[in-house]
Amino acid sequence: MSILSGKNILLGISAGIAAYKTASLVRLFVKAGANVKVVMTPTSKEFVTPLTLSTLSKNPVFSSFTSEDDDNDVWNSHVDLGLWADLMIIAPATANTLSKMANGVCDNLLLATYLSAKCPVYFAPAMDLDMYKHPTTLRSFNVLKSFGNIMIPATSGELASGLVGEGRMSEPEDIMSFLEHDILDKLPLKGKKVLITAGPTYEAIDPVRFIGNHSSGKMGFEIAKQAANLGAEVILISGPTSQTISHSFIKIVPIISADDMYNAVHSYFNDIDIAILSAAVADFKPKHVASQKIKKKENTLTLELEKTKDILASLGAIKKKQYLVGFALETNDELENAKGKLKTKNLNLIVLNSLNDKGAGFKSDTNKVTFIDDKQKVNEFQLKSKADVAKDLMNEIIKQINA
């Protein structure tokens, strides 16, 4: 999966012959899983039609401050567009548009949106050879880069004039590659390996029955997604769950039992930078597993249970450089119990959630957590979606490891 998946991409198109390439660029963005909106200068519509771009992006195309809708004028807010975008790319960026951007000229919707954007802005110049090398154009490049905008350099090739030289807009595939590499290089967890456990474990009673719990795995999968989106290489060790995930940075290792999880975690742990154990591992398992299905002969059935291996404690005992995070699901004396686990299991951070909090715990899409670090600092959060909890957790870990 591309690092652009799920991103809101705002594509600005100015009036150059290279605008014909933007149809392919939009298609590549959508194929990568991005949400795409297009803003055009009025004249750029002479080079590529809004209908084409709207069809490919599956969104309306904007080119003026108002548009007609059932005989009513509808305001197209440049502010809303700028706030919506996770990144903005202006391609092609003509000499005219670049000069206006560099000097704060705001005479169309695209330029107003650019001035309103809070996200990273990329620009891909496209113009003829002499225009590309003209001192005023070079000054525009330098001014825009000094503003923090990112230039996708033009390439050399045959130009619309028939000349051969620098000024040709990068091909759509090269623009995609540039964006992906630039974003990845700036991600805070690039080069880090993160191990995450998720879901329940099933402890066999016989070939048919097992002891399990109500964990859905949602929390662990959201953490894995967030870690991967921050650039980490993720090993996701998951018990039985209906959760799915597709990301090129995530390797899923399916397991069934607590012993399976113990072995899998230890096989990866030495090479890991961060380990987050969010799985609901069974504390006990049947001491004897029947080789055949137990028949219902009596009114009662007695099972002898024995403790499973404490995976979190075993990692705390051997950790060296790893940043180790555990989860504590409690029903009473929550804070005291969590602090106890933090210390006895040699953790860097523990995430506490209580079944007494409505909307927290198993199966739900929300969670209410408290972070406690190894300096006994307590940070309590309100009820949030598990996706937002995952973001809070990864932000806390990044802050801690960079402290």
At 146, give phi and psi (nearest 5°): -70, -25
Whole-number pLDDT of residue 82? 92
pLDDT tens, position by position, 362-397: 667 888 899 999 999 999 999 999 999 999 999 999
Nearest to 195 by CA among 319, 63, 362: 319
CB-CB neighbours of 100 under 10 Å: 20
Residue the block writes with tokens 């080789």: 291
Nearest to 330 by CA among 292, 369, 302: 369
What are the chain's domains? 8-185 (3.40.50.1950), 193-401 (3.40.50.10300)
Whole-number pLDDT of residue 71? 57
Whole-number pLDDT of residue 76? 80
CA distances, 162 to each of 63, 103, 129, 165, 323 (Å)? 30, 31, 10, 10, 59
CB-CB neighbours of 390 under 10 Å: 26
Distance of CA 153 to the CA centre of its chain: 27
Taking 70 as the pLDDT cut, the residues of the chain under it are 1, 68-73, 356-357, 359-363
- What is the distance between the terminal CA atoms of the chain, rounded to a whole angstrom? 31
Joined together, the tokens standing for residue 148 give 């923090």
Whole-number pLDDT of residue 68? 57
pLDDT tens, position by position, 178-208: 999 999 999 999 999 999 999 999 999 999 9
Is there a contact between 290 and 209 (Cβ–Cβ < 8 Å)? no
At 42, give phi and psi (nearest 5°): -55, -40
Whole-number pLDDT of residue 178? 96
Euclidean distance between CA atoms 190 and 227, whole angstroms: 10
Is there a contact between 39 and 18 (Cβ–Cβ < 8 Å)? no
pTM for this structure?
0.81
At 392, give phi and psi (nearest 5°): -60, -40
CB-CB neighbours of 276 under 10 Å: 29
Whole-number pLDDT of residue 301? 87
Nearest to 118 by CA among 85, 141, 92: 85
Whole-number pLDDT of residue 165? 74
* Residue 403 identity (one-letter amino acid): A
Distance of CA 291 to the CA centre of its chain: 44
Residues involved in catalysis? 213
Joined together, the tokens standing for residue 137 give 């154009």
Distance of CA 380 to the CA centre of its chain: 24
